[in-house]
Amino acid sequence: MSDGYVWFEGIPFPVVDFTPEHMREVQENFVFKDEDVLILSFPKSGTNWLIEILSLIYSKGDPKWIQSVPIWERSPWLETMYGYKTLKDKEGPRFMTSHVPIHLFPKSLFKSKAKVIYIIRNPRDILVSGYFFWITSNFVKKPESLEQYFEWFIQGKVVFGSWFDHVRGWISMQGKENFLILSYEELKRDTRSAVQKLCQFLGKKLEPEELNSVLQNSSFQAMKENKMSNYSMLRGWLLDQKNGSFMRKGISGDWKNYFTVAQAEVFDKIFQEKTADLPRELFPWEEWSNTSRSQR
Ligand SMILES: Nc1ncnc2c1ncn2[C@@H]1O[C@H](COP(=O)(O)O)[C@@H](OP(=O)(O)O)[C@H]1O
Ligand SMILES: CCc1ccc(OS(=O)(=O)O)cc1
């Protein structure tokens, strides 16, 4: 009987559109091409915001594509059966998205020049965002309370496993020419500069009015109102009919409204222990925002 996850190599995956056999097939047989663009993240890091921005950069700010094609078709989720089928034989440059940890990822990526963007976010905000999303979705185990989800998260017993392991794994690619790390927080703080950085990485040049259109059409409000991007089409199937919204708040630091002082302290301790040997610039939110509730 399912315990609310599909398990593959000790990592929990969603129960819809995933099987261990399929995961193995993707890992062993998916072939990356040099012209591919891959978005990687731990779930709830701002993945879909980045997909929207990339869609707009490639259409030079023209919103036609984002307003007519669902976001999951523009950048399919590689590890799902649907995404894999869509991507496998697709001609030309492909966009794709994945949450898979590095050690389970298709090996062909590491021999290709595909452009890879890893979006990282304060895990405290990921935890809160995930809690509110999973309680209104029907494809992963639902937590009964934020307290319970907090425990699952720090133990790595959530979809795609431990945030700490995910980050540690993927940032080992840092320094490679085809690998960019972008934080949700820098995207939020100065979206224009972050989009310019993305354009440079992707080798794309936008005219000023095209850039303005990218910014306007990928704003939180624009995405919330775009039914091709706000996941409202999946209500009644993968998501509850009425409750919850994929486009929830779209802010940094919301965790402060939910963590108790004790939880904030526990999280700080674990964060420091588990990231002590990693470069601090990977975690800009730690400096920018009065990270710890207890220090405020
Ligand atoms: N245009 C945008 N601007 C800011 N945040 C956005 C955004 N689009 C999506 N998000 C936020 O990104 C999170 C979802 O991430 P993902 O796409 O990886 O699942 C949600 O966070 P919150 O739940 O904190 O609001 C969502 O609101
Ligand atoms: C309902 C399908 C869906 C939508 C958004 C998701 O977000 S994330 O990819 O996990 O960040 C996941 C599944």
Residue 1 lies in a domain: no
Of all protein residues, the one whose alpha carbon is nearest to atom 8 of ligand 1 is: 49
pLDDT at 93: 83
Q: Which atom of ligand 2 is nearest to the CA of 137?
A: 1
Residue 115 lies in a domain: yes
Of all protein residues, the one whose alpha carbon is nearest to atom 8 of ligand 2 is: 43
Q: Which atom of ligand 1 is nearest to the CA of 130?
A: 23
Q: Determine if ligand 1 sits within 6 Å of the CB of residue 99.
A: no
Residue 80 lies in a domain: yes
Q: Determine if ligand 2 sits within 6 Å of the CB of residue 173.
A: no
pLDDT at 295: 41
Residue 215 lies in a domain: yes
Question: How far is 132 from 98, CA to CA, in rounded Å?
Answer: 21
Q: Which listed residue (22, 99, 103, 166) is catalytic?
A: 99
Query: Domain containing 129 — which CATH number?
Result: 3.40.50.300
Q: How far is the CA of 184 from the centre of ligand 1 (A)?
A: 9
Let me know if 99 is a catalytic residue. Answer: yes
Q: What is the ipTM of this complex?
A: 0.95
Q: How far is the CA of 30 from the centre of ligand 2 (A)?
A: 21
Which ligand is nearest to the Cα of residue 238, counting in written order? Answer: 2
Residue 161 lies in a domain: yes
Q: Which atom of ligand 2 is nearest to the CA of 77?
A: 9
pLDDT at 244: 72
Which ligand is nearest to the Cα of residue 160, counting in written order? Answer: 2
Which ligand is nearest to the Cα of residue 52, counting in written order? Answer: 1
Of all protein residues, the one whose alpha carbon is nearest to atom 16 of ligand 1 is: 44
Segments forming the whole domain that contains residue 242? 6-287
Percent pLDDT > 90 in the chain is: 88
Q: How many domains does the chain have?
A: 1
| Digit-coded pLDDT (tens) for 218-260 | 999 999 999 999 999 888 888 887 777 899 999 999 999 999 9
> How confident is the prediction for the chain on average, in pLDDT?
94
What's the average model confidence in pLDDT over 2-11? 92
Residue 294 lies in a domain: no
From 248, 252, 254, 258, give the residue whose CB has the most ligand 1 atoms within 8 Å, as the site to mutate: 248
Residue 296 lies in a domain: no
Closest CA to 44 of 271, 275, 194, 249: 249
Q: What is this structure's pTM?
A: 0.96
Residue 78 lies in a domain: yes
Model confidence at 205: pLDDT above 50: yes
Q: Which atom of ligand 1 is nearest to the CA of 247?
A: 27
Model confidence at 294: pLDDT above 50: no
